């Protein structure tokens, strides 16, 4: 029996939460994982469900989460070692008022200067199984500027040109990372503004591998 995954999606529709989640649900199922899809944060209150899954993917840009729902998620991660994986604003710009959730993620979106622009993703760690063998690649999308945890294990970065915000010229920003939160392990990629961004093979493969890694299946 493959690892069990819970993918909870919703929030701002501009990030294609349904389309992106279903894309990766299909890829995880192809890899032999047992995927449950949910459109309600009340899933985090279902103790039997939460105790049965190995990894959660929360995709809920902005939105809001109750203290009980947040505790249902974070307590499982910290205490039991439930793992987490996700992408872009669905995970990294969710629940803006919940700093403990952001502590778990390891970062929070704050800007994307110039909106949809051309930029390069530099794959810095060629040894980690999530990024091994993946070359640097180009994106045309939002280049996420984030406040990030210095304890993150950074696998890929991007460098801002300063064209759209002169004061960040040369800033090197984490794009892909792993980290720990309590007993749980966390994967995050800032790529994936809309589902079409995952037509870029490298962007799709990083998230596919990252989710498998978070589900202990890579």
pLDDT tens across 86-111, in order?
999 999 999 999 999 999 999 999 99
Q: What are the angstrom distances between the C-alpha of 15 and each of 11, 59, 129, 174?
A: 9, 9, 27, 20
Is the per-residue pLDDT at 57 higher than 70?
A: yes
150 within domain boundaries: no
CATH number at 8 reads: 3.40.50
Radius of gyration of the chain (CA): 16
User: Is residue 162 included in any domain, yes or no?
Assistant: no
Domain membership of residue 88 (yes or no) is yes
**What rounded mean pLDDT belongs to the chain?**
98
Task: Please report whether residue 89 resides in a domain.
Answer: yes
Does 165 reside within a domain?
A: no
pLDDT attached to residue 122: 98
Query: Is the pLDDT at 32 greater than 80, yes or no?
Result: yes
Looking at the structure of the chain, the number of domains it has is 1
Encoded tokens for 134: 């993946």
Q: What is the pLDDT of residue 1?
A: 63
Q: Which pLDDT does position 2 carry in this prediction?
A: 87
54's tokens: 């190995």
- Range(s) of the domain holding residue 24: 4-108+174-214
Task: Tell me whether residue 206 is in a domain.
Answer: yes
Burial call 166-205: b when 16+ CB within 10 Å, e when fewer: eebeeeebbbbbbbbbeebbbbbbbbbbbbebbebebbbb
Q: Kindly state the average pLDDT of the residues 78-87.
A: 98
The whole model's pTM is what?
Answer: 0.97
Residue 33 lies in a domain: yes
Q: What is residue 161's predicted lDDT score, i.e. its pLDDT?
A: 97
Q: Report the percent of the chain where pLDDT is more than 70.
A: 100
What is the reported pLDDT for 69?
Answer: 98
120 located within any domain: no
């Amino acid at each position: 029996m493959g690892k069990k995954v819970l993918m909870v999606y919703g929030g701002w529709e501009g990030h294609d939460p349904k389309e992106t989640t279903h894309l990766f649900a299909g890829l995880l199922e192809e890899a032999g994982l047992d995927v449950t899809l949910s459109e309600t944060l009340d899933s985090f209150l279902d103790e039997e469900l939460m105790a049965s899954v190995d990894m959660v993917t929360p995709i809920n840009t902005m939105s809001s989460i109750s203290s009980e729902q947040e505790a249902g998620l974070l307590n499982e991660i910290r205490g039991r070692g439930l793992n987490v994986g996700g992408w872009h604003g669905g995970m990294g710009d969710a629940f803006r008022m919940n700093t403990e959730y952001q502590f778990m993620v390891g970062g929070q979106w704050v800007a994307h200067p110039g909106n949809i622009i051309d930029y390069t993703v530099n794959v810095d760690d060629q040894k980690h199984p999530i990024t091994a063998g993946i070359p640097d690649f180009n994106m045309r999308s939002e280049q996420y500027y984030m406040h990030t945890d210095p304890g993150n294990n950074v696998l890929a970065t991007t460098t801002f040109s300063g064209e759209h915000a002169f004061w960040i010229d040369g800033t090197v920003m984490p794009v892909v990372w792993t980290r720990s939160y309590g007993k749980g392990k966390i994967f995050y990629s800032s790529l994936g503004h809309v589902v079409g961004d995952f037509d870029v093979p490298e962007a799709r493969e990083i998230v596919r591998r990252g989710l498998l890694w978070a589900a202990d299946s890579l």
